[in-house]
Every structure is written in structure tokens, then in C-alpha cells.
Amino acid sequence: MYKVFVNDKPLFLTNKVEKETDFQLFLMESVDIDMLLTKMFSNRIEKAWLYHPDEKLALRMLKDKVPVAKAGGGLVYNKQGEVLFILRNGKWDLPKGGIEKGEEIEETALREVEEETGVSGLKITQKLQKTYHVFKRGTHYKLKVVHWFEMKTDFNGPLVGQLEEGIERVAWLKPDEIKLALKNSYENIKLLFEDNAIKVSISDN
């Protein structure tokens, strides 16, 4: 199953028909994707499932229907085991950005982390999952596919947020601070912490 976030609402690509009733089910082959996305953006649909017997084909079909913007980002650890976060638009996020012509996606992720935070000496230690979310540019929708990488660095210099990207603050957060930050973050960022190295319970009070 693939999970795509539309305005932080889940859109599941699935090859199974569940018996739950708290979502709407659509067929990938016949769905009016623009209408569905519009309803999700306007809060008329809170959760939806797109059914196709082949999940990977369903993802390819979604990419055919919605133009793709490819990006790379980093889940960055320092020597103290803290994680690098940025505050943008009043929400905690991880550094990431769009691929440039001629770049490999790993190069994109390293460049964007350094540009957005001022942190250098980055080394990729492993590839993480991809996340998917839909955003709107004018009247058109785009599907952002972010390739995430775990990174480590010995950097201990000043953190400098990229102002032109609207970054209000850059910070190294400890596990307890991460748990609090994730309460004011995005669903696709929470996914990274659910599935990877730091297990942070975002439901605890």
C-alpha cells in the first residue's frame, strides 16, 4: 500500500477492498483525479482509497495523472544523536528540496540540507523510504516525491536558515523534543520517524 498525503489527508493506493466505512473508495482507472483532489483540499473528503489490483501500477497511473516534482531530503544526526529540524510556515519539517538538472538525487539531498540549514560535512549512511504528497501551484496539482536519506555529520558550527525558502529556525532536537515537534509537523514527516531509526511515540501526551 502507498500512502499519499493531500493537504495532510491520507489517500491510500491499495489492491485490497476493506470493509471499513470511514473513507471513500475510488477506482484508479476511472477516477476523476482533479475532482478528488479538489474535494480533499476543500475538506469535503477526509480520507480516500484508490483501488487497483496492482499497487505499483496504481502509483504509475497516479504519476501519469498528476505531474511529478522530484525532491531529496535528509534525516540528519549529529554526534550527540540529535536530529536536524527546520521550522517553516510555523511547522517543524526536515530539510529537503527539488532536484536540479544533471543532479543525482543523493546530490540533491546533500545540497538542499546544506543550503537550508548551513550544516556541512554531511555523509549519507542509508537510503530511507520515499514520501508522497500533493500540493497546488496556481490551479494545478503536483505530486511531490521526496527521496529521503539518513545522514550523519560532525558539524558543530552555527545553524543558518535559508531565508529565501521561508525557514524561520533551524535546530538540533533531542528525542523528547522531537516527540513534541512532531505534534506540529506533517504526516509524511511523522512516517519517517515511525518507520526508521528513532521510534518516537507521537500519540503520547
Q: Give pLDDT, residue 201.
A: 42
Q: pLDDT band for position 202 (50/70/90)?
A: very low
Helices (H), ranges, 32-168: 33-41, 55-65, 105-117
User: Which one, of 161, 198, 204, 167, lies nearest residue 183 by Cα?
Assistant: 204
The Cα 61–Cα 52 span in angstroms is 10
The superfamily CATH assigns to domain 74-195 is Nucleoside Triphosphate Pyrophosphohydrolase (3.90.79.10)
Domain ranges of the chain: 2-65, 74-195
Does the structure show a pLDDT above 90 at 59?
yes
pLDDT (tens digit, 9 = 90+) per residue, 91-117?
999 999 999 999 999 999 999 999 999
